[in-house]
Chain A
Amino acid sequence: MQFEWTEEQDSFRHKIREFLHANLPDDWEKFSEHGPASPALTAFARGFCVKLAEAGLLFPHWPQDMGGEGLGPWEQQILSEEMWIAGEPRGGQYMNVNWIGPTLQKYGTAEQKARYLEPITQGESLWCQGFSEPDAGSDLASLRTRAVLTDGHYVINGQKIWTSYAGLADTCFLLTRTSDDRKKGITIVLVPMDTPGITVRQIPSLIGEGDIHEVFFDDVTVPETARFGEEGQAWEIVAYSLRNERLGIPRFVLARAALDRAVAMLQDRGDFAREHVRMEAARCAALCEGAGTANYAVVQKRTEGLTIGAESSSARYATVMAERAVCDFVVEFLPEALAGGSPYLKMHHQRGIVAGIAAGSAEIQLNIIASDVLELPREPR
């Protein structure tokens, strides 16, 4: 057991930082107040990701037969950390390289790979994921957006909600219902977002502008070849895709960076001498570092090729606690930071509220820990 990065890992991290330093504009910190899914940041990301691709930093963790460099899970972790700590200048394209690309490679038809993989590798495409619905949030398997196969075409009707990037995405990775069999009746369809019948409505939010949307599908018609995998295979494919993503965004690094930033501001004005402030800052740091090591324990399993199980839910929940503690610290001791005093801390705070809600709520993580880590007898259903 050792907790140091290797020289190669350090220099990989250094390379990313150099790249960021050279390619982020001077006013980036202020600019990143626009959320990752905002029109401004999405537009920026289109240029930025092209440069990332040129520098070999867009998908270095992909296997060589997909055009990547086959770097391991630690390098993918380092890449994710450095991007998130910088305010995620890849915008929504982080999803492309983390799971959409690898999933296309594994389950896509030749036509789908030819059509979608290249734009991803060139940093030129943006996807959205059509999962949640008004009546299917944590209970995702109850989704009702219907796809009916008629004369070689799927006709799609229904509604999605909380869809990030929908306003600007080219393609939707859409979960639809093709039969009433709960999980086995769900089918993935890849839908171009300019298909007639799609209406996107932005939902004003606390996270920053343009982040979440409602998407309506009214007789949206796509050819049968837009189906991804077999009918009813969605649950299996999504479980596979998200296996690599179960840890989620490495929020603990941004939380820790925000904490350091807040401490530096407090020190500057002489407010960090107060013992209760120092104590609370240390408590936040311990939560961030605890979440970090818990996350790393999961990455370790990935490096050994082991199946990632419920321990990723435990790491996720630890991250949520750390994120909230730092947000609370800033509000309590530096309230002006969120009223114009610090774009970086505001950016962190805006994104922080998402931690326990998106990509599987904190309560779902607790359910998984209870059943699969503690192995408590199941709740009656």
Chain B
Amino acid sequence: MQLALNEDQRQVLDFVEALARPFASAPLHDAGLALESAELDAALVENGFLDVQAVEELGPVTAALVVEKLARLPFAVEAAFSALVRPLIDPHLPRPICLVEEGRTRTPVRFLRPGATVVVVGASGVRSFTAREEQIAPAQEDTLYAYPVAFLADMPEAMTLHAADPAEITRAWRVAMAAEAAGLLGAALASTVTYVSERKQFGRPLATFQAMRHRLAEAQVLTNCAYWLAMRAAATGEAADAAMALLHAQEAARRVCYDYHQFLGGMGMTLEHPLHLWTYRLKLLTSELGGRGEQGLAAAAALWGK
């Protein structure tokens, strides 16, 4: 048992932090809910931060740490699948990576765009194709989610079949989403805490009212557990740990998102405040891989069998 960051991990996180600093605050935006930065994406690729899993002394925990940290930024970036799942399929697959479940391809797909790699995971194995324009139906104008999303309008007949085991890819998928959700939960909490510590009503900061303090403290407990479960799942590679980590993160997201907007009052309804960038991403993640019910069933099967 060794739960501290090692020197390598600390260094990687420091580098990521320095690189992400120009992207740490949200610009005012009114063009839809999502916010992306091609510049940030390029910088991450260039510096190899999405490929840390393959480096022997770094591995999946470091990849999860990077994903968690990047998810805290107001800018959405496709890091989770690239860093934690792609190495298990083919490290050279073009980014962004979009994972979809076989038979569930009607769902909004994050980061889907021409040139993206779509990986279809299911009974037929792990298959992929490079998305072309005519296969994509845009949703960006109407979406309520703070990720860039689109729909798969069509799938090619022929896909590349990979040697990877679908169960193992699904496990890594859960780890990736748990790490991403942990970062989103952390950032949403921090954003809310800052607001209620500054905003005054009845002559004192909102955060001095116990009605809010206790709910925020409970949210901190859930967020802390989400972080540790995600890291443990990355470290152990166990199917049960991965399912429990995503289950807990999806439960936590449901518990906290409305509270945070509630605590911001009127500001919680605006695009001016960046809170929605994290909460409206979390909302979409609650549906990932069938939602918490399916994570629960997967965890139960892995823990106890039939």
Q: Which residues of A contact B (CB under 8 A)?
A: 1-6, 9, 74, 260, 263, 267, 272-273, 275, 278-283, 285-287, 289-291, 293-294, 296-297, 299-300, 304, 311, 314-315, 317-318, 321, 363, 365-367, 369-370, 373-380
B160 at the interface (CB under 8 A from A): no
Q: Chain A residues with Cβ under 8 A from B2's Cβ?
A: 1-2, 300
- Nearest first, the 9 A-B pairs at minimum CB distance are A290-B225, A293-B228, A279-B296, A369-B217, A278-B300, A282-B296, A282-B299, A370-B213, A300-B3
Q: From A275, A286, A300, give the contact of B244 (CB < 8 A).
A: A286
B207 at the interface (CB under 8 A from A): yes
From B4-12, B24-32, B140-148, give the one contacting chain A: B4-12
B107 at the interface (CB under 8 A from A): no
**10 A–B pairs (Cβ distance < 8 Å), ordered by A:** A1-B4, A278-B304, A279-B296, A281-B304, A285-B303, A287-B248, A296-B228, A300-B3, A367-B214, A380-B208
Give Cα distance in the complex from A294 to B252, angstroms.
Answer: 15
Q: A282-B244, A286-B251, A289-B229 are in contact. Are A300 and B4 (CB under 8 A)?
A: yes
B218 at the interface (CB under 8 A from A): yes
Most buried by A among B225, B231, B248, B251: B225
A278-B300, A286-B245, A376-B207 provided; 9 other pairs, C-beta below 8 A? A74-B1, A273-B306, A279-B293, A279-B296, A279-B297, A290-B225, A300-B2, A315-B224, A376-B205
Per DSSP, chain A at the interface is: helix
Contacting A at CB under 8 A, from B253-295, are: 292-293, 295
B243 at the interface (CB under 8 A from A): yes
Contacting A at CB under 8 A, from B1-57, are: 1-6, 9
CB distance from A325 to the nearest CB of B (A): 11
For B295, give the chain A residue with the smallest CB separation. Answer: A282
For A320, give the chain B residue with the smallest CB separation. Answer: B221
Q: Are B299 and A286 within 8 A (Cβ)?
A: yes
Q: Chain B residues with Cβ under 8 A from A74's Cβ?
A: 1
Q: A363-B214, A380-B204 are in contact. Are A373 and B304 (CB under 8 A)?
A: no
Q: From A291, A300, A367, give the contact of B213 (CB < 8 A).
A: A367
CB distance from A323 to the nearest CB of B (A): 13
For A322, give the chain B residue with the smallest CB separation. Answer: B225
Q: Are B306 and A286 within 8 A (Cβ)?
A: no
Q: A370-B214, A379-B213 are in contact. Are A281 and B221 (CB under 8 A)?
A: no
Q: Chain A residues with Cβ under 8 A from B61's Cβ?
A: 1-2
Contacting A at CB under 8 A, from B211-237, are: 213-214, 216-218, 220-221, 224-226, 228-229, 231-232, 235-236
Most buried by B among A9, A263, A289: A289
Give Cα distance in the complex from A373 to B240, angstroms.
Answer: 30
Give Cα distance in the complex from A81 to B306, angstroms.
Answer: 28
Q: Chain B residues with Cβ under 8 A from A304's Cβ?
A: 4
Q: Are B306 and A3 within 8 A (Cβ)?
A: no
Q: Are B300 and A282 within 8 A (Cβ)?
A: yes
For B240, give the chain A residue with the smallest CB separation. Answer: A285
Q: Chain A residues with Cβ under 8 A from B88's Cβ?
A: none
Q: A376-B213, A380-B208 are in contact. Are A267 and B304 (CB under 8 A)?
A: yes
B85 at the interface (CB under 8 A from A): no
CB distance from B205 to the nearest CB of A (A): 5
Give Cα distance in the complex from A279 to B297, angstroms.
Answer: 5
Q: Chain B residues with Cβ under 8 A from A376's Cβ?
A: 193, 196-197, 205, 207-208, 213, 216
